[in-house]
Amino acid sequence: MALSWLLLILLALAVIGYFSGRSRALASAGGNARELHSLPSYYGYNVALTTLLPALGVLIVWLLMQPMIIDNTVSGLVPDQAIPEGSDRGLVMSEVRRVANGLDGAVASEAMTEAQAQNPDADIEALTAALKDAGQVLTQDITQPILMAAQKYRSMTSNGSVAMQVVVLALALLGAAFAYVRTHKEFRARNVVEQGILALLLLAASIAILTTVGIVLSMFFETLNFFQLHSWKDFFFGSTWAPNFRGGSELSILPLLWGTLYISVIALLVAVPIGLFAAVYLSEYASTVTRSVAKPLLEILAGIPTIVYGLFALLTVGPALVSMFGNGGALGVGWMASSNAVLTAGLVMGIMLIPFVSSLSDDIINAVPQSIRDGSLGLGATKSETVRQVVLPAALPGIVGAILLAASRAVGETMIVVMAAGAIAKFSGNPFEAMTTITTRIVSQLTGDTDFASPETLVAFALGLTLFIITLGLNIFALYIVRKYREQYE
């Protein structure tokens, strides 16, 4: 029985439970809904939820656990001598799974009977031929231990899923019966449903948090692997980034960090003044009509995918800068050789960050109480004096928070730098040169054929984790500042 059928049956049980619970409650009150503790539908929901939730919970856990348990058991069955030279248990296990799937497929397409598939003494060559005829993909020759393991794997999987279906259905029926028997006019169904809802919300919240933890942990363990293969001193304190897939790479984060920070600083130099002035204009000077038109227009910038900004950098900003600063350019200085440069990426990233800075700052400036503006204007200050000397200082902690959030986006930005910053890792102060960032290197280390055992690939995780810690630190610092500022006026 397929999983979808199981789910449909559960759903049907829940629907039946809903209606029977509802009518049982009504019947216990003699058909008068006012006699009931809760509305009739709550009794229905109670039965439906008690049917569904435990069964679904067990189903999910089972689906997650079963492959792990089977893998462990079966891999114990494969003897050490069955593992070929230069391979490992993991590769053999994937072969076992492939054979098991092949047998499944062959049985499903009726190229083989179930008995043939389960025959432990089957002739291996004939079996291989039969599987190949049935169109199943095999990468290695099947050996006796692999066949044994695969057959064990198949039987455990099918036994497991039968057991799972039985347990899940039994749980659903038990739940339904339990809730149905409890349904009585005195029963506080409403409170019970409320608790069910609470559990549901809690589950959703914890999934989000657990995912974050999972991401961090997976990065962390890969990073540990990397540091076993490569010296951490070179990573943190080296000076050269020269990955070489034949070995002997120098993998230092510092040149990449330099490029990342350089580009981010240029981006912030563009975004902070423009964004801040735009926010001051919108919140202090603009009429209601202008504001209602200009603010959404500015925020459209935030909705443009970063790949489009990358194209803009590549096709428009880069060539324009070259025609200014390049050889034979308008300024005649010849500083810029190619349109891939720190300046190009920084400028375009700055444009991307403008709406980010402006919309956050706008909210913060608006949160400054009108009364202190009135106080300043009432003393004979002009509007700009009021903004400069009262409003902005009052909003400053929040604005600093907004800038830090923008900085953490700049540090983590990928697409624009991939397309516009170039690929050369170096320490240089010249903004017209190409440089590279942490994010671009992660992309290039992980695209194409990858082998997750070499330091050249694993370095991506160390880079990612470092980046994550930098942006996390910036975000925490920014939130701390923003929160502290909020308390001032409460």
Which residues of this protein are in contact with another protein, per CB under 8 A? 287-288, 369, 371-372, 374-382, 385, 389-390, 393-394, 488
Task: Tell which residue, 464, 462, 456, has the closest CA to residue 440.
Answer: 464
Cβ nearer to another protein, comparing 344 with 376: 376
In angstroms, give the least distance from the CB of 406 to another protein.
24
Cβ nearer to another protein, comparing 37 with 291: 291
Cβ nearer to another protein, comparing 294 with 446: 294
Cβ nearer to another protein, comparing 69 with 293: 293
In angstroms, give the least distance from the CB of 238 to another protein.
47
Contacts of 206 (CB under 8 A, 6+ apart): none
Q: Are 219 and 465 in contact (CB under 8 A)?
A: yes
Cβ nearer to another protein, comparing 223 with 376: 376
Cβ nearer to another protein, comparing 317 with 390: 390
In angstroms, give the least distance from the CB of 298 to another protein.
21
Give the 3-state secondary structure percentages of the chain, helix then strand then coil, rounded to 5: 75, 0, 25
For 221, phi and psi rounded to 5 degrees? Answer: -70, -40
In angstroms, give the least distance from the CB of 293 to another protein.
16
Instruction: Name all contacts of 36-44 with Cβ < 8 Å and 24+ positions apart.
Output: 36/185, 37/185, 37/186, 37/187, 37/188, 37/189, 37/190, 38/187, 38/188, 38/189, 38/190, 38/191, 38/193, 39/190, 42/189, 42/190, 42/193, 43/183, 43/187, 43/189, 44/17, 44/18, 44/19
Name the token pair of 88: 């490992």
Cβ nearer to another protein, comparing 182 with 383: 383
Number of C-beta neighbours around residue 405 at 10 A: 22
Distance CA 449, CA 84 (A): 23
In angstroms, give the least distance from the CB of 296 to another protein.
20
In angstroms, give the least distance from the CB of 191 to another protein.
44
Name the token pair of 82: 């069955």
**Quick one: how far is CA 330 from the chain centroid?**
45
Cβ nearer to another protein, comparing 134 with 381: 381
Q: Is 489 left (phi over 0), alpha (psi -120 to 50) or beta?
A: alpha
In angstroms, give the least distance from the CB of 404 to another protein.
20
Name the token pair of 212: 């974050």
Helix (H/G/I), strand (E/B), else coil: 86 = coil
Amino acid, res. 305: P
In angstroms, give the least distance from the CB of 275 to another protein.
23
